[in-house]
Amino acid sequence: MFNEEIRVMNSYTNATFNPDNLTFQKQINQASQTILEIGCGMEPRVSWKLERQQLWVGCDHQVKPEYIDKINPSLIHVRVMSSKKIPSEQMVVFDKKVAEIPKFYPDTFLLVAPNQKDLKDGNILNDELEPFLSPTKNQGFVIVLDTRTQEASGYQQEAIDNINKWMHKHSFFVENNYDIPDEFKPNSADLGGLNICKYFVRYPEE
C-alpha cells in the first residue's frame, strides 16, 4: 500500500523527557489512549495528532541532546504536525531503546521510516517488544516504510518479510489502508512521495 507524501510542518512543543517510573505511571493511568512510537528520531518527531487524554510515548536511543530544554532538562523539544498547543504531560520522550523503557500496554504502536536493514536483521521487531503486548486488549501497529533511501532499495523485501513473520507470530492481522487511524500523521524527513504503509491489529484470546 502506498500513501501520498505528507508535508512536515515546522511546529515544535515540549514533551516530558525521561520521567521517573512514578511520574510515567501516573501519565499512563490518566490517559484514555496510549501511543508508542518506536524510533521517534534524533530530532524527536510526533506522528500522531493528539487529542485530550491521549498520551504519546516516543523512544530513540539516538536522540540528540541539543533538543533537551536548556532551562528545564526534564523537558525536550519535539516536532509535531499541528500548531495546536499540546501539554507536555501528554507527550513523553525516552532517549533509550524500547527494551529499556518502562513497560506498558500501548493501544497503538508506530514505526515510521525505520532503517530497513535493521528490520531485516531483526533489530527492531524482536522478542524485546513482547512485554508491551497486552493479554487482554486490542492493539494496533502502524508501519510506514520509505521507498527512496539506500536501505529501502537494498533490504525492503527482506524487511517486509520479517515484518509479516513477526506480526504472524504475535497474532497481529493485516487491516486495510482505510482502517489506519485518522490521528496518524507520518512525520519523518526520510519519507517521500510514495511510502509503503501497513496496518495490523491484534485481538487477544478471551
The pLDDT score that the predictor gives to residue 176 is 73
Q: Give 93-136 pLDDT, tens digit per residue.
A: 999 999 999 999 999 999 999 999 999 999 999 999 999 999 99
CATH for the 2-202 domain, from 3.90.1580, 3.30.450, 3.40.50, 1.10.10:
3.40.50
Cβ-contact 169, 125 below 8 angstroms:
no
What average pLDDT does the segment 6-11 reach? 50
Q: Give 146-186 pLDDT, tens digit per residue.
A: 988 787 788 899 999 999 999 999 999 998 766 788 889 88
**Look-up of cell digits 527482506:** 158
- The maximal CA–CA distance of the chain, rounded, in angstroms, is 48
The pLDDT score that the predictor gives to residue 206 is 60
Domain boundaries, the chain: 2-202
Task: Residue 7: count other Cβ atoms within 10 Å of its Cβ.
Answer: 6
Is the pLDDT score of 71 beyond 60? yes
The pLDDT score that the predictor gives to residue 189 is 79
SS3 150: helix
Mean confidence (pLDDT) of the chain: 89
Distance CA 144, CA 112 (A): 5
Q: Give 137-156 pLDDT, tens digit per residue.
A: 999 999 999 988 787 788 89
Is the pLDDT score of 54 beyond 90? yes
Q: For the ranges 22-31, 79-88, 99-108, 194-203, which has the lowest average pLDDT?
A: 79-88
Alpha-carbon torsion (100, 102, 105, 109), positive or negative:
negative
Is the pLDDT score of 10 beyond 60? no
